[in-house]
Amino acid sequence: MENMETATVALQLEMTGKHGPRTLDFSDNLENYAHFFNRVVDYLHDTALQSLILASTFESRRSHIEWIMSFSEHVLYKIPMVPPEYLSPMLLIIHEAVSNAVYHGNLCVPDSVRTSKTFHEYEQEVATAHPELLSRQSTMRLFLFHDHGELSISDSGKGFDYQSELDRDQPPSPESEMGRGIYILKQTADEICFQDNGKTLHVRKNWRQT
Amino acid sequence: MIEWTENISGEQATLSLDGKITFENAGELRNRVKAILSEFPLKHLTFDLTGVRFVDSSGLGLLVSIKNTMVKRNGSFKINNVTETVRNIMNQTGLDKYFEI
């Protein structure tokens, strides 16, 4: 089963130089993320870097989630385009978007399980009862520019009633043990929209006046 | 990635955490707190968040559930030394007053 897992990562880097703009493309399997990062790291802190697109397709497995979160964070903290005060907000957006797509969208984790089991325990349960859920994919695209960042993520679930979440103008009550994800996304982002019955999320964060 | 050290004495315990509390690891931390609470007659639990540089909504949910559990035991749960990033997300979600940070 191991070799049937699919997790890919691709980077498109737009660089300027004395010969004009050029685009560099890299791609690999996400499981090689550490090696992949070492291949691209010198470009990431190059001042000629103008924009970056990180695209990844991954399954709803703990290992895949850890790879993409780790890789995204490394990229985010290396590149020169994101001002320091926007690093945590962007990381928060990525966390909330990925956990929403994987937990709610693909794995349909019931609330009772989220407050009683670890991801690892739930994954083991699902692997026995509904292994097909773990193969459900998410596709993420992270765009980073000098003045803003954008994230889009699509999951393979059945969607959800996102409008009532977006309409919420107060945070959940302090005693509530869940339900803050979309509220945090809305508060952190400058623009947020769902499409395709909630299966696709777009978020934009501005960091400099355009 | 989250690591912590535990200092348990009588009815009091302090966990000093280091790393990020996120959807990837909140469950492990929850299990450990549950185990401590069933093993020791604790009334007062404190989390020292000096080393915690990031919390997401799952991490917040965990902190709330621990506070709820301690209140049910007629005990208390305190959070000390929050970093600026953690304070910001608590302010955003109205939890700063709840945790009295």
pLDDT in tens, chain B (101 residues): 899 999 999 999 999 999 999 998 999 999 999 999 999 999 999 999 999 999 999 999 999 999 999 999 999 999 999 999 999 999 999 999 999 88
Quick one: how far is CA A133 from the chain centroid? Answer: 19
Closest CA to A58 of A134, A159, A161, A131: A134
Residue A49 has pLDDT above 60, yes or no: yes
Interface test with A, best of B56, B96, B97, B101 (most A CBs within 10 A): B56
All structural domains of chain A: 8-195 (3.30.565.10)
Answer whether A115 sits within 8 Å of B92, measured CB to CB: no
pLDDT computed for residue A192 by the predictor: 98
- Residue B23: closest CA among chain A residues belongs to which residue? A99
**CB of A87 within 8 Å of any CB in chain B?**
no
Please indicate if any CB of chain B lies within 8 Å of the CB of A67.
no
pLDDT of residue A209: 59
pLDDT at A4 over 80: no
Short-list A195, A194, A192, CA closest to A203? A192
Distance CA A185, CA A92 (A): 8
C-beta atoms of B27 and A118 within 8 A: yes
pLDDT in tens, A52-88: 999 999 999 999 999 999 999 999 999 989 999 999 9
Residue B24 is nearest to which of A65, A177, A187, comparing CB atoms? A65
Point out the residue among B24, B68, B98 whose CB comes nearest to the CB of A119.
B24
Closest by Cβ to B56, choosing from A66, A99, A172: A99
Rg (CA), chain B: 12
Q: What is the pLDDT of residue B22?
A: 94
Given a cut of 70, whether residue A121 has pLDDT beyond it is yes
| Residue of chain B minimizing CA distance to A66 | B24
A180-201 average pLDDT score: 96
pLDDT at A119: 85
Q: Is A175 on the interface with B (CB under 8 A)?
A: yes
CB contact under 8 A, B60 and A180: yes
* A138 neighbors A155 (Cβ within 8 angstroms): yes
3-state secondary structure A69-130: HHHHHHHHHHCCCCCHHHHHHHHHHHHHHHHHHHHHHHCCCCHHHHCCCCHHHHHHHHHHHC
Give yes or no for residue A111 having a pLDDT over 90. no
The verdict on B22 touching A (C-beta cutoff 8 Å) is yes
| Backbone phi and psi for residue A85, each to the nearest 5 degrees, phi listed first | -70, -10
Q: Are A174 and B95 in contact (CB < 8 Å)?
A: yes
Cα-trace Rg, chain A? 18
Per-residue tokens: A60: 């709803």
Q: How far apart are the first and last CA of chain B?
A: 24
- Looking at the complex, does the CB of residue B97 fall below 8 Å from at least one CB of chain A? yes
Separation between Cα atoms, residue B60 and residue A92, nearest integer Å: 12
Residue A148 parent element (H or E): strand A148-154
Handedness of CA B52, B57, B58, B60 (dihedral sign): positive
- ipTM value for the complex: 0.93
| A5 has pLDDT over 90 | no
| Length of chain B (residues) | 101
pTM listed for this prediction: 0.94
pLDDT at position A17? 80
Other residues' Cβ atoms within 10 Å of the Cβ of residue A156: 16
pLDDT at A115: 78
Q: Torsion angle of alpha carbons B41, B44, B49, B50, nearest 10°?
A: -110
In chain B, the domains with their CATH numbers are 2-98 (3.30.750.24)
The reported pLDDT for the residue numbered A20 is 82
Split at pLDDT 50, 70, 90, the class of A113 is confident
Question: How high is the pLDDT of residue A71?
Answer: 96
